[in-house]
Structure 1
Amino acid sequence: MGEVKDEKPTRPYHSRVRAESARRTRQAVVVAATELFVARGYTATSLADVAAAAGVARPTVFAAFGSKAALLRQVLDEALAGDDEPIPVAQRPWYRPVWEAESQGAVLDAYADVCTLIGARTARVFETVRRAADGSPETAEVWQTLLRNRRIGARTVVDRLAALGPLRAGSDVERAVDEVWFHNDPAHYGALVHGAGWDERTYRDWLARSMRHALLPD
């Protein structure tokens, strides 16, 4: 009988361990970058600063993200989505009530919930990008992408409203998209919750009421 050799650990196991370690490192970097970008500003924060705060070497940060602008985009993506899973916002479970609503008012109520959730996570980060956008082409590009993506989100909501009934008299689709795009700006959350001290429920109710008034028939 031939000699029975000890089985070696499988490569997939080691791959999973390495992948999980890399993911934890990326998450530590994203958390550190978020805090520093908000506290100091994007321009004043270097990759070395982020690496030190995350407890890793600067080359590790560069290897994981490639550039500070790419790291900023990851910070924004995770703030919008709530995690690092590659699932679009509109496909998240917390967005589902917008699709499942059976009346126009319910659509806007559900969307106000979504905007409040996103505002809580992104208002300060969005403001950081807005302030930095005048200082460099790379951040200006990120800012313009945010504006375009908000408009895409607004259009999906208007399409859902139009599928359920008429819009407010005098409000065509493009005008309605403009109005939803205005209302879904996290800056409103920053101004009213962070700045004026509103609680989230008051903000959410104001947002739902404002969108109903702007978009729905009397």
Structure 2
Amino acid sequence: MDEVKGGRPTRPYRSRIREENARRTRQAVVAAATDLFVTRGYTATSLADVAVAAGVARPTVFAAFGSKAALLRQVLDEALAGDDEPVPVAQRPWYRPVWEAATGRAVLDAYAGVCTLIGGRTARVFETVRRAADGSPEVAEVWQTLLRNRRLGATMVVERLCSLGGPLRQGSDVEAAIDEVWFYNDPAHYGALVLERGWTEETFRHWLARSLRHALLSDPD
């Protein structure tokens, strides 16, 4: 409740400078954690390590995120979205071409672009989580959440295709179509072909678009 001072209500004091400093601190911590988790591994990285790399005190990291698992979730969220704004991936401007596409081919071409963008930001982080999941129940839960979210993304794409009225290669088996998109939207493909084999992102995007079209559309060309 607002306090009354001199007969006039006053608002609780909020410093924009303090809020901006806190946000910059969180961003520094997330950036440091991302680098350490990828280079050292999740298990080998402590909150104290992250604090040193970010140039802050360990209690600051704990106060901002609460636990290493929570920090990992924030690292993943920001890698997927590209920033720390609370806007879902499907509502991002760079996802809009998927919703605006007027044909099944255009939907999948746009979605291949989305997957390429996300793969570039998340492939290494996803691999870090996958490796750590076997030894940590908390990380295993994070990994399962990633798998579910990827399937939700695949479901949105297939529903978009169905809304355009074009026949799917799978006929009425929508679940099979979702499974195929879920397979192809794995950032591990980006990691294998771009990061390991040296493909350009453009080559990868064209391959992924072509693969999605041939997997899902009755008339891919």
Alignment of 1:187-198 (within 5 A): 187-198=188-199
Give 1:197 shift: 0.6
Looking at structure 2, the residues matched to 135 and 119 of structure 1 have their Cα atoms a distance apart, in angstroms, of 24
* Matched letter for residue 38 of structure 2: V
For residues 127 and 81 of structure 2, the distance between their equivalents in structure 1, rounded to whole angstroms, comes to: 17
Distance 1:114 1:12, change over 3 A: farther
- CA deviation after TM superposition for structure 1 residue 166, in Å: 1.5
The aligned residue for residue 179 of structure 1 is 180
Aligned mates of 1:114, 1:69 — CA distance in 2: 26
Question: Residue 171 of structure 1 contacts residue 215 of structure 1 at CA under 8 Å; is this kept in 2?
Answer: no
Shift of residue 13 of structure 1? Answer: 8.0
Q: Residues 143-192 of structure 1: CA distance to partner in whole angstroms, max 9, x if unpaired?
A: 00000000000000000001112111446110000000000000000000
Identity score, percent = 83
CA distance in 2, matches of 1:43, 1:169: 42
Q: Which amino acid aligns with 1:15?
A: S
1:34–1:125 Cα contact (<8 Å) kept:
yes
- For residue 199 of structure 2, give the secondary structure of its aligned residue in structure 1: coil
What pairs up with 1:10-49 in 2 under 5 angstroms? Answer: 14-49=14-49
For residue 118 of structure 1, give the secondary structure of its aligned residue in structure 2.
helix
What's the C-alpha RMSD, in Å, of the aligned pairs? 1.3
Contact kept, 8 Å, 1:180 with 1:211, in 2: the verdict is yes
Runs of 5+ in structure 2 lacking a partner?
1-9
- In the alignment, which residue of structure 2 is the partner of 1:67? 67
* Correspondence list, 1:145-184, <5 A: 145-164=145-164, 165-170=166-171, 172-184=173-185
CA distance in 2, matches of 1:81, 1:184: 15
Runs of 4+ aligned residues of structure 1 deviating over 4 Å after TM superposition are 10-14
Partner of 2:203: 202
In the alignment, what sits opposite 1:136?
Answer: 136
TM-fit CA distance, 1:15: 1.8
Bigger CA drift: 168-177 or 36-45? 168-177
Distance (whole Å) between structure 1 residues aligned to residue 12 and residue 103 of structure 2: 49
Aligned partners of 2:179 and 2:152: how far apart in 1? 11
Q: 1:201 and 1:143 mapped to 2: Cα distance?
A: 28
Counterpart in the other structure of 2:118: 118
Alignment deviations for residues 70-101 of structure 1 (CA, whole Å, 9 cap, x no partner): 00000000000000000000000000000000
Structure 1 residue 17: Cα displacement: 1.1
Query: 1:133, 1:139 within 8 Å by CA — same for their partners in 2?
Result: yes
Q: Structure 1, unaligned stretches of length 5 or more?
A: 1-9
Question: Normalising by the residue count of structure 1, what TM-score does the alignment of the two structures yield?
Answer: 0.93
- Equivalent pairs counted in the alignment come to 209
